[in-house]
Amino acid sequence: MSRSTLEVSGMGCICAPGNNLNEVKQSLYTGERFPMPPKKIETQLDFAYPVFEVASNLQDMDEEATRTTKLALQAVHEALSQAALSPLDLQKLRVGVAIGTTVGCTLNNEPFYREYHAGNNPGMAVVDRYLANNPAQYIARKYHLTGPVATVANACSSGTDAIGLAKSWLKNDMCDLAIAGGADELSRVTYLGFISLLISSASGCRPFDKKRDGLNLGEGAGIIILEKENRLQQRGADSLAQLIGYGTYADAYHPTAPHPEGTGLKKAIEYALRESDISPEMVGFVNAHGTSTPSNDKVEGNIIAEIFSDRIPVVSTKAYTGHTLGAAGAIEAVFTIQALIDQKLPATPGFEQPDEECRISPTTDILEIGTEIGISNSLAFGGNNSTLLFRRAN
């Protein structure tokens, strides 16, 4: 296994706060957020629960691409641009593509399913389009890439696990460079599903707040470019950060709830720390999963306090993006890296009253930090828990 350091050379992001990383940063550092009733989802509900929709209509993207794929492509383009990599550069390398998604686009094909269920013949165009829009394969085809390709569907940790998979590819010399992250679009099925689970907030979500009452769904994509240190040096490019640790562990406790004692999350964090030879005291902040649901925030808060102390700076950026499901871990990885670059954390909007059962309180104002290392958590339905550990570039 290669011991070469894994460098992040480019990042891209599109979500409700902005159509690119610069726009998103502006919202994060001004505390602006825009939860509102969905514009692209129709229901017969008496009340429209707010969501975080991407403002861009993405009409200039590939016509055959679904919205999920378009979100991913937008973030990939931005990340490659920042990494100073052209399509021709990529074709000279073994480039892997790992993309996490949960909803993808299949759940937005309700008219087809209804027609089929009614005994009609709706035609297979919708199915063909869906099958052609495996996001990782779509990106690999578009850029003519020849490395390993995988789409990871592991609920809310999909984006984090895709980055972890890409890390493994590079460490085992399966590719020279990897495009990794996650993308997900809003869907009527998931929108109604989360409402039926009674975990959707009727207002803007409030991570870790004592009066938190649920999450808001969102959509978007986050992408990072990962490459080996020696190859980055060969092409004279700059590093934004280093990916130094990844841990994942399943609770196998409940289809949707985390283990009450946070068993899986604790083991995932501890593995990432051991792998990177980092002690808890060296970690400067946590970008929490922070969904604003009662049990999730309580479990995560207790594990953060147990491993790192109850005074470590914590932020939940879902207060700006909503819960973007399969994209969440990747978007939050981008935000974690950006915080290391900027040496500051945004406030966590909506948080007002500490909850003693959570044991931690997130940021309430922009916080200047002086740290080299940050961590990003993901807790998923199905009991999966994953963690990424990043170090600021020298």
Can you give the pLDDT at residue 71? Answer: 96
- Rounded CA gap, 235 and 54, in Å? 35
Can you give the pLDDT at residue 35? Answer: 96
Mean pLDDT, range 247-255, rounded to an integer: 93
Write out pLDDT tens, residues 350-362: 999 999 999 999 9
Radius of gyration of the chain (CA): 20
Which pTM value belongs to this model?
0.96
Can you give the pLDDT at residue 1? Answer: 38
Can you give the pLDDT at residue 4? Answer: 63
Residue 360 inside a domain? The answer is yes
Can you give the pLDDT at residue 70? Answer: 95
Among 58, 55, 63, smallest CA distance to 36 is for 55
- Rounded CA gap, 276 and 4, in Å? 13
Residue 100 inside a domain? The answer is yes
- Rounded CA gap, 131 and 126, in Å? 9
Q: Residue 241 in contact with residue 261, Cβ under 8 Å? A: no
Residue 175 inside a domain? The answer is yes
Can you give the pLDDT at residue 128? Answer: 87
- Rounded CA gap, 249 and 346, in Å? 28
Residue 191 inside a domain? The answer is yes
- CATH code where residue 240 lies: 3.40.47.10
Domain span at residue 77? Answer: 6-392
Dihedral sign, CA of 26, 327, 255, 42?
positive
- Angle (CA) 306-309-312 rounded to 5° is 130
Residue 217 inside a domain? The answer is yes
Structure tokens at 37: 């009733």
Write out pLDDT tens, residues 34-73: 899 999 898 999 999 999 999 987 877 787 899 999 999 9
- Number of domains comprising the chain: 1
- Which residues have a catalytic role annotated? 156, 289, 323
Residue 236 inside a domain? The answer is yes
Reply yes or no on whether the pLDDT at 118 is more than 90: yes
Residue 1 inside a domain? The answer is no
Secondary structure letter of residue 217 according to DSSP? B
Structure tokens at 73: 């492509």
Residue 157 inside a domain? The answer is yes
Residues sharing a CB contact under 8 Å with residue 325, sequence separation 6 or more, in sequence order: 102, 103, 155, 156, 158, 184, 190, 217
